Structure 1
Amino acid sequence: MDYIREFDIRLGKEMYYAGELLQGQVILNTVENFKLRAIRVVVRGKAHAEWKVVVSGDRRTVKDDQYFVDDRTTIWGKDKPEGNVPILPRGNHTFPFRFQLPESSLPCSFESKSGTIRYYIKVTVDIPYASPPQGMKYFTIIGPHIDCMDEQYLKPMVGQDKRALCCLCCKRGPVSLRTQLERTAYVCGESIKLKADIDNQSEQDIRLRLKLVQYVEYFIDRGVLGVSKDIQHPVLEYTGDPVAAGTRWKFDSSQSLVVPVMPPTLIGVCRLLQIYYVLKVNIVMSKAGEDLHMHFPITIATVPFRIPNSSHQPNITYSQCCDHVEGGLYIGPEFQLGQVYDGGLDSSPEAVLLYRPVYVCIPNPKLSLTPAARARMAGDQQQQIHDTDIGEALGGGGHIGRSGSMSVAGSHFGRSASMSVHAVNIGRSGSMSVHGTNIGRSGSMSVHGTNIGRSGSMSVHGSNIGRSGSMSVHSTNIGRSGSMSVHATPSSSGGANIGRSGSMSVTATHHIGGGGSGGGNVGSVSGKKSSKRVSHEPAEKTSTM
């Protein structure tokens, strides 16, 4: 509305625990007086599960909701106004509000494609005879109180197994595995304390393999029995060194099994979903595959381990979930701010996220980077410029050093590229695009139909510069092993020959030797390097009961 200049919801902080006092303010900046019936504030916590199932050949959507918090108050006006509607004078207005969160266990904020747990403040400005403006502010609930110091989590767990390998009727030496888990609850950022003793009396090499797996189960109470959906993701994996036949090996996890940032364990708190974790310990035979399986339940807590009678207490921080487990794989479209093209050069701007839940963690340099952290690092390494010098100015252009990237009027320079605008110099593995023209990886270039091949060879209107060659138009310089042909004249007779590190000023048509050929394209158009990234695809199982 034209007479409301600013409408904002501000909270004292962004994350809360169960039982805390939630305080905030509603900000209204108006430019004129207007009738205002009431300002209503609602705090709500809701779990929502939804997915599609196939029933009798038809694809249907099943969904269910569960509410944990639902409280409301009126911070201006009356719920049921009587008589004349009051008038709100123009100017800046601040309306404070407060809610007491319930003491009972609240599930943590959670985002996934199949189910969400969200907490938010909703404000409605009730204006008579008009559509009431509404605003929503999401905040994070850390989750149920799970303390690593509880007695049930401090008890160590021990597992032991022994297996004798057989080949047909011949019995070989046994393989034994003994493991001890110091405690079963950990906060994100802590290292899992596991010790293993392997005795390999067989005739083949074996390896110790550890895998922490996240299990998420969704439930919807619809119909007679309802439907369910199970998803699992590997959180972290570790494979030890080979244990030679007839030897013994001891393993101590120390700092090798750092728990990444992810949602805490949720069991019995929400009826629509539950989250739990299992540490799988296996012995892998070089010939027979996996053998000797042990599974340990792992609890992801919200209160870290403390050393008794110590003045040093762990430093608690909050961070977003890693992007390979449930809770970090999905971002709701309502939290993604749409991008509007403003005529700039940035073709892939960083996504603006309005909200993402955070979880308790202990600072650890071995924690994997979140998408936001990786985006910030990428932004630090990449600079998008327009008519701006980069590094050392060379002839009105710029130089981009190692790992630099540059965009000039639609041009792009890849890793390790160097450029001078009026005297173009393409460094090793440089990529360049001029007026829509592309120079691929490893220094291949096409300018107005002109091609520079792999490893820095160039052809301009039929002219060729060989490997590692450099060229200046009005005063042509051919570097080491450079070859050049102007106007595609193949003859080398009557021309000057420039050897190593030679230079040439072109006033007539010449062919320059040094092993180069006259005219034509040299090398491949572009070299591309592919990178392989291991992605963890969720194994989904949907059942209808």
Structure 2
Amino acid sequence: MSKSIKELSLHYDPINESNTFTSGDIVEGRIVLEVTKKIKVDSFFVKLTGDAHVSWTKGSGDNKRTYSDDERYVNLKQYFIQDSSKKGESEKNTTLVDGETYGSVIRPGSHVFPFRFQLPQQNMPPSFKGFHGWVKYILMVKLSRPWKSPSSTYTELNFVLRNDGTNDHLLQPQSGTQDKKMKFFGSGKMEMTVTAEKTGYMQGETIRVFVDIDNSSSRDVKLKYSLKQQQTFIAGRSTNRSNKDIVKETRDRIPSGEKSKFIVDVTLPRDLTVTIENCRILKVQYELKVYLDVSFASDPEVKFPVVILPPDQPCPPWQGPPGGSQPYPPPQPNLVPYPGELPPPPAGLYPNLYDPTVPPYPGAAAGVYPNPHAIPLGFHLAPSAPVSDPNQSTTKESSPNVPY
């Protein structure tokens, strides 16, 4: 960042305790820009993008080949300052959002630029980071000046799927039976029936499975089960699949000639990635396998698909710490103070941004920032919002994956 720009930071307002967003939610916040001297700006904007990306490499040397693909879901942009020669021009695959605009000259001091976006009401995949790809929703601000390198910063939003509780087909039970006749190293046969209560489970929920085993063989067997995640990445006609064990357990031994009944409980991690089926270039799917471990023979097994869903109820509103000692969360860190809280400006610096009696105000000087009436007073977080986590809502300086 140049010496004349002391701070360029990006802050958004969390809307729930989990600091997540979903389709149709409002994303609003502010850009804080502090400059040490007057600067001329060509363009200054904030944008919200949502993208999926996959990439992997096969082979080596002359046979090395890279496969990749991308998919974009949202591209919203709000200008604060725009090159006058480009005003009114459409931008490819970009939705321009109306907002307050300012003159191209910014005076010394700290300035706040509010922004507001609404996520589309469409079926977009959730935020995800996998073996060979990701889905990201990014807020990024960029300031361009004549004969200077652009200044930019960004932060990621955690986008989740909306679970409206209407997936009735995922509530149907699943059942399967598998038997095996012993031909080598034993005689007789074994039979296993497995029943799962349903197909869809929310993060943190427990999968309950009922297992009936009739071991009429001459061999002892062990009951085993696993929950496996499969990540699939697609680039053109090429596919790359990676598997990950979420749970893998061994249960009781079933002696020869005995019948046994088991209840198997698999508790899902609360941060487990949800099933992703609504992305063209990547998928996340789950499979539950219950099987009998038979030494020196193939294992009889029953497999079920499992769909991992986000919670179907939003988190309760933020109520503040116990005892009610603080009815509202404090403002986000590093923000410009609120009206009436600013100290008197040092002599010679730009007048108090929030004092509408101090020029320049609208009409005082065309083309000179700022418009004091454009800064809304409601910058405190809403009473239902949690205390913001600086690690989540503050900015990062650069990212090779963020498109400018």
TM-score (norm 1): 0.51
Alignment of 1:37-436 (within 5 A): 37-54=42-59, 57-76=62-81, 80=85, 86-142=104-160, 144-146=161-163, 150-167=167-184, 171-172=187-188, 174-221=189-236, 226-254=237-265, 256-259=266-269, 261-267=271-277, 269-285=278-294, 287-304=295-312
Question: 1:472-508 CA deviation, whole Å, 9 max, x = no partner?
Answer: xxxxxxxxxxxxxxxxxxxxxxxxxxxxxxxxxxxxx
Contact map agreement 2:225 2:249 (CA 8 A) in 1: yes
| Distance of 1:206 and 1:315 partners within structure 2 | 48
| Distance of 1:314 and 1:181 partners within structure 2 | 28
Contact map agreement 1:190 1:258 (CA 8 A) in 2: yes
Contact map agreement 1:7 1:28 (CA 8 A) in 2: yes
| Distance of 1:201 and 1:314 partners within structure 2 | 51
Question: 1:193-229 CA deviation, whole Å, 9 max, x = no partner?
Answer: 11111122222211111111111111112xxxx3211
Q: Which residue of 2 aligns with 1:6?
A: 7
1:127 offset after TM fit, Å? 2.1
Contact map agreement 1:47 1:116 (CA 8 A) in 2: yes
| Distance of 1:153 and 1:91 partners within structure 2 | 57
Task: Classify the secondary structure of the residue corresponding to 1:230.
Answer: strand
What amino acid maps onto 1:228 in structure 2? T
| Distance of 2:40 and 2:110 partners within structure 1 | 16
Q: Which residue of 2 aligns with 1:521?
A: none
| Distance of 1:41 and 1:123 partners within structure 2 | 4
**Larger RCO of the pair (alpha carbons < 8 Å, separation 6+):** 2
Contact map agreement 1:147 1:303 (CA 8 A) in 2: no
Identity of aligned pairs, percent? 23
Task: Classify the secondary structure of the residue corresponding to 1:153.
Answer: helix
Contact map agreement 1:263 1:300 (CA 8 A) in 2: yes
1:186 offset after TM fit, Å? 1.4
Task: Classify the secondary structure of the residue corresponding to 1:152.
Answer: helix
| Distance of 2:53 and 2:82 partners within structure 1 | 33
| Distance of 1:162 and 1:247 partners within structure 2 | 15
Task: Classify the secondary structure of the residue corresponding to 1:47.
Answer: strand
1:54 offset after TM fit, Å? 3.6
1:253 offset after TM fit, Å? 2.1
| Distance of 2:12 and 2:103 partners within structure 1 | 29
Question: 1:384-436 CA deviation, whole Å, 9 max, x = no partner?
Answer: xxxxxxxxxxxxxxxxxxxxxxxxxxxxxxxxxxxxxxxxxxxxxxxxxxxxx
What amino acid maps onto 1:273 in structure 2? L
What amino acid maps onto 2:290 in structure 1? V
Q: Which has the greater radius of gyration?
A: 1
| Distance of 2:11 and 2:57 partners within structure 1 | 37
Question: 1:434-466 CA deviation, whole Å, 9 max, x = no partner?
Answer: xxxxxxxxxxxxxxxxxxxxxxxxxxxxxxxxx
| Distance of 1:148 and 1:277 partners within structure 2 | 20
1:260 offset after TM fit, Å? 5.8
| Distance of 1:22 and 1:73 partners within structure 2 | 12
1:241 offset after TM fit, Å? 0.9
Residue 315 to residue 32, structure 1, CA distance change in 2 (3 Å): closer
Task: Classify the secondary structure of the residue corresponding to 2:169.
Answer: helix
Please, which runs of 5 or more residues in structure 2 have no aligned partner? 88-101, 319-389, 394-404
| Distance of 2:269 and 2:209 partners within structure 1 | 13
Residue 355 to residue 92, structure 1, CA distance change in 2 (3 Å): closer
Contact map agreement 2:51 2:74 (CA 8 A) in 1: yes
Residue 265 to residue 258, structure 1, CA distance change in 2 (3 Å): closer
Task: Classify the secondary structure of the residue corresponding to 1:240.
Answer: strand
Task: Classify the secondary structure of the residue corresponding to 1:106.
Answer: coil
1:149 offset after TM fit, Å? 5.8
Q: Which residue of 1 aligns with 2:374?
A: none
| Distance of 1:81 and 1:116 partners within structure 2 | 33
When structure 1 is superposed on structure 2, of 93-102 and 61-70 the one drifting more is 61-70
Contact map agreement 2:131 2:242 (CA 8 A) in 1: no
Residue 247 to residue 257, structure 1, CA distance change in 2 (3 Å): farther
Q: Which residue of 2 aligns with 1:367?
A: none
Question: 1:58-97 CA deviation, whole Å, 9 max, x = no partner?
Answer: 2122322111111111124565479x96321222211011
Residue 124 to residue 259, structure 1, CA distance change in 2 (3 Å): closer
Q: Which residue of 2 aligns with 1:32?
A: 37
Q: Which residue of 1 aligns with 2:382?
A: none
Alignment of 1:365-514 (within 5 A): none
Task: Classify the secondary structure of the residue corresponding to 1:253.
Answer: strand
Contact map agreement 1:282 1:290 (CA 8 A) in 2: no
Please, which runs of 5 or more residues in structure 1 have no aligned partner? 307-312, 318-352, 357-545
Residue 147 to residue 296, structure 1, CA distance change in 2 (3 Å): farther
| Distance of 2:112 and 2:62 partners within structure 1 | 56
Residue 3 to residue 55, structure 1, CA distance change in 2 (3 Å): closer
Contact map agreement 1:147 1:301 (CA 8 A) in 2: no
What amino acid maps onto 1:74 in structure 2? Y
1:179 offset after TM fit, Å? 1.2
> Any runs of at least 4 consecutive aligned residues in structure 1 with deviations exceeding 4 A, and if so which?
146-149, 313-317, 353-356
Residue 247 to residue 237, structure 1, CA distance change in 2 (3 Å): same
What amino acid maps onto 2:38 in structure 1? N
Contact map agreement 1:215 1:277 (CA 8 A) in 2: yes
| Distance of 1:127 and 1:196 partners within structure 2 | 68
